[in-house]
Amino acid sequence: MAQSTALGDACARVSAHFHLARSVKVGVVQSFPELEPPGARLTYSEKMDAEPDQIECQFKTAGGPVELVRFCIDMTCYFAADENAERHRRFEEMQSLMRRDGSDPD
């Protein structure tokens, strides 16, 4: 199965939302639509000359509107069943932001 532009784009939006930015500069993108759950990993930077960071995202399905099920930034992962209240809250905020921009289904 080929790379999925939709998964990579959705993961880039997660990164931008997380950093309160309109967009991020995306470097290398790897997507895995054939895996369960489907996902993407990419390098990005908030500033033009900054060292790149990495984000990993997992989604419920590879097609249609993507629904975020987990994402990891800076060695910290965020997901719905997290027992840590702050990380759980950040995950819920991200799902809400993705729904607002049309990336995540209601």
The whole-number pLDDT of residue 104 equals 58
| Residue range 5-43, pLDDT digits in tens | 999 999 999 999 999 999 899 999 999 999 999 999 999
User: CA 13 to CA 6: how far, in whole Å?
Assistant: 11
Spell out the alpha helix ranges (H) of 1-106. 5-18, 85-100
* 1 pLDDT higher than 70: no
- Sequence ranges of the domains in the chain: 5-100
* 95 pLDDT higher than 70: yes
| Residue range 40-69, pLDDT digits in tens | 999 999 877 778 999 999 999 988 788 999
